Structure 1
Amino acid sequence: MEGSQAAGVGLSQQRLPSGDLLDARGRLRARGYATREVCKYVRSAVKAWPLRTKEWDYYCVLTDRYGLALTVADNDYLGFLAVTWLDFEKRSFVSEEALLPFPLGGMDMPASADRGDVECSDAKLEIAYRHVDGGREISVSAPGFANGQGLSGKLFLEQPPMDRMTIATPFAGAPRSFYYNQKINCLRARGAVAVGTQSFAFEPDSAFGVLDWGRGAWTYDNTWYWASASGIAEGRVFGFNLGYGFGDTSAATENMLFVDGRAHKLSDVEFHMPPGAPDSAPWRFTGSDNRLDLKFTPILDRASRANIGIVESDQHQVFGRFNGYVVLDDGARLSVENLIGFAEKVRNRW
């Protein structure tokens, strides 16, 4: 297929040490990956150019039939709230968004993925993320959603002791730019979401969430690729994070499998994308040393594009099903069948 992309080089797979994320000059103290939160992020330590700091928490919770995605982001000059409802049977999605001009850190995004709550609202949207015993609680209210139908919901995401993907990445030629990211897969979900007069249940045996927690100071023009899924494979709780695009990933990739709460680190993964539209044909993902081979069959493309001069965003988050196999650290092969998830290509100039 055309459009093949290698998901990072990362042959050394350098471990990230504990300590402060940034030094006194605002540069990364170290680069690499970890399977827990090991670095302390402090917003005031960022020394990049003004308006370059970006902080976001994104949750995506999926079942075989439907899903919910929530975003809260403070991008210095623009805050962003969003909720998306996904209907895989109808192959459709509906979103509600709110823009908050120049929050400049005023959205109080937590410095840790493990502590601190998020509560943000405007006239159209209320979103809250809270730490509770045994996991996380996410809630949303959007009275005008879908032309006045309204959307509201509350989900509990169970988080027992478990590994995650953590990575600190620099940008070549921009020593005060960096990307500190944590992806927490395989969060069993319980609760309900109401859309109009319909209520949709999320049950922990079939609904799983992922948290994308990011803090950083990016360069202006970036294209990234990301794929994620969580669910059950051969009766075991299974998920993965695959991706690249932010900065210099020579120290480590963010490619990782999760089985029953334990991480299995991968090196290179290649994204084989269709030559046409991202949802026009299946994708394929292959790993170095034959540790991953997955076919991804699209269901729907949550596409959005905005171009207002110096700010441009072109996003394709394609939801679909993964089939194939992965190989764990001990050499065991695990089959993956009809696992719901997503794969995306996003370009941002901002």
Structure 2
Amino acid sequence: MTLRELTEPVSLTAGDGRVLNRAAVGWARQPLVDASRVHTRSWGRNKRWEYWNVTTPTHILALTVSSIDYAAVHEVWVLDRATERTWHAEATVIPARGVTLAPRLEQGSSRARAKGLEIDIDEVPGGTRLRARIAGVSFDVVAELPDGHERLAVVVPWSSRRFQYTVKDLARPAVGTVTVEGVTSDVPAGQSWAVLDHGRGRWPYDVEWNWGAGSGVSGGRVIGVQVGGKWTDGSGSTENAMLVDGRLHKIHDDLVWEYDLAQWRRPWRITGGGLDATFAPFYRKVGSTDLVVLSSRTEQCFGHWSGTFTTDDGETVAFADILGWAEEVHNRW
């Protein structure tokens, strides 16, 4: 299947904002879709979030700011790669309060305030500034946006009233600092990378997904890995792509995921659409929430991507040791 490429700005919703604008169904190389009216209708099904992950030679940093109408759900997580010690805080605030989400990507700030947690996401000249603070840890990082850098923007239509707009932004050069227990370390330029998952949509209650991403340099080329599955099945859309030196190569095929969470250290394999990738995990992060109406289970493994990708032009790009993650998530929300 080949999804239509969007090249002009378009609204995600039609009419009074209750239904999907079919003209928005497709994919783009930049965040062209206006999803600002998602939260104005159909209260209870709207999901909005910003998830950023930053990988450095010494740490992995992550933050989430989100609103799912009836709750605000936030998280800050930091891993020391050498010791595997973690610092973590999460908050589920019912009803949703203390949260601000930009109406459109890169057109405003996003913030979260909850007990023991502060997050600020701000657009600055040349990129996006990410700041987070929890007990024992804080970080201040700029995810730079190079000229011409492409992103994967996709609209996934389940029905006229259930749909998702996602932007997966890979291999953003990152620079800044992380402070752990009073000790400040650099987020060094040229060795650190930021990835964004920007989401706006109206979701079914019960959903599962796979997501994998990675960023780094291999063979002198900047590589971004973006793969997903399950949640897009049957929609006609996929969120699969490779980024090579800032140029996005869309993968229209559904991919085959082979992995066993019971033996999570075994390499995962993801294939299809010109991609033959192996993911070798070294750390597993497990999270769960059970608030009756709202429940979730996440198993996110961090590791390295290696493999080959053949472009539509027939070029085969080999890559190795690209740091990132692969996950399985089941939400009832």
Q: Tell me the residue number matched to 1:34.
A: 28
- Relative to structure 1, is the Cα distance of residues 247 and 295 closer, same or farther in structure 2, using a 3 angstrom cutoff? closer
Q: Pick from 118, 123, 127 the counterpart of residue 119 of structure 2.
A: 127
1:46 and 1:176 in contact (8 A); partners too: no
Q: Secondary structure at the match of 1:277?
A: helix
- Relative to structure 1, is the Cα distance of residues 92 and 265 closer, same or farther in structure 2, using a 3 angstrom cutoff? same
How far off is 1:280 after superposition? 3.5
Q: Tell me the residue number matched to 2:152.
A: 165
Q: Tell me the residue number matched to 1:328.
A: 311
Q: Tell me the residue number matched to 1:5.
A: none
- Relative to structure 1, is the Cα distance of residues 45 and 211 closer, same or farther in structure 2, using a 3 angstrom cutoff? closer
Q: Secondary structure at the match of 2:19?
A: coil
Q: Pick from 56, 70, 77 the counterpart of residue 70 of structure 2.
A: 77
How far off is 1:276 after superposition? 4.3
Q: Tell me the residue number matched to 2:258.
A: 273
Q: Secondary structure at the match of 2:281?
A: strand
Give the residue type in structure 2 aligned to 1:36. Q
Q: Pick from 177, 184, 202 the counterpart of residue 192 of structure 1.
A: 177
Give the residue type in structure 2 aligned to 1:97. E
- Relative to structure 1, is the Cα distance of residues 45 and 152 closer, same or farther in structure 2, using a 3 angstrom cutoff? closer
Q: CA RMSD in A?
A: 1.9
Give the residue type in structure 1 aligned to 2:331. N
| Equivalent-residue separation in structure 2 for 1:240 and 1:71 (angstroms) | 20
Q: Tell me the residue number matched to 1:309.
A: 292
| Equivalent-residue separation in structure 2 for 1:45 and 1:91 (angstroms) | 38
Q: Pick from 8, 13, 16 the counterpart of residue 22 of structure 1.
A: 13
Q: Tell me the residue number matched to 1:221.
A: 206
Q: Tell me the residue number matched to 2:96.
A: 103
Q: Tell me the residue number matched to 1:261.
A: 246
Q: Kindly tell me the number of residue pairs found equivalent between the two proteins.
A: 328
- Relative to structure 1, is the Cα distance of residues 186 and 114 closer, same or farther in structure 2, using a 3 angstrom cutoff? same
Q: Which moved more, 1:240-249 or 1:75-84?
A: 240-249
How far off is 1:140 after superposition? 1.2
Q: Tell me the residue number matched to 2:129.
A: 137
- Relative to structure 1, is the Cα distance of residues 36 and 323 closer, same or farther in structure 2, using a 3 angstrom cutoff? same
| Equivalent-residue separation in structure 1 for 2:30 and 2:41 (angstroms) | 25
Give the residue type in structure 2 aligned to 1:164. R
Unpaired segments ≥5 residues, structure 1: 1-10, 145-149
- Relative to structure 1, is the Cα distance of residues 269 and 63 closer, same or farther in structure 2, using a 3 angstrom cutoff? farther
Deviations 1:242-278 (A, max 9, x none): 1123355543311111112111111225343333426
Q: Pick from 50, 55, 66 the counterpart of residue 48 of structure 2.
A: 55
Q: Tell me the residue number matched to 2:107.
A: 115
Give the residue type in structure 2 aligned to 1:274. Y
Q: Tell me the residue number matched to 1:87.
A: 80
2:158 and 2:235 in contact (8 A); partners too: no
| Equivalent-residue separation in structure 2 for 1:346 and 1:93 (angstroms) | 21
Query: Which is bigger in relative contact order (C-alpha 8 A, separation at least 6)?
Result: 1
1:110 and 1:118 in contact (8 A); partners too: yes
Unpaired segments ≥5 residues, structure 2: none
2:157 and 2:237 in contact (8 A); partners too: no
- Relative to structure 1, is the Cα distance of residues 177 and 202 closer, same or farther in structure 2, using a 3 angstrom cutoff? same
Q: Secondary structure at the match of 1:129?
A: strand
State the TM-score, normalizing by the size of structure 1.
Answer: 0.88
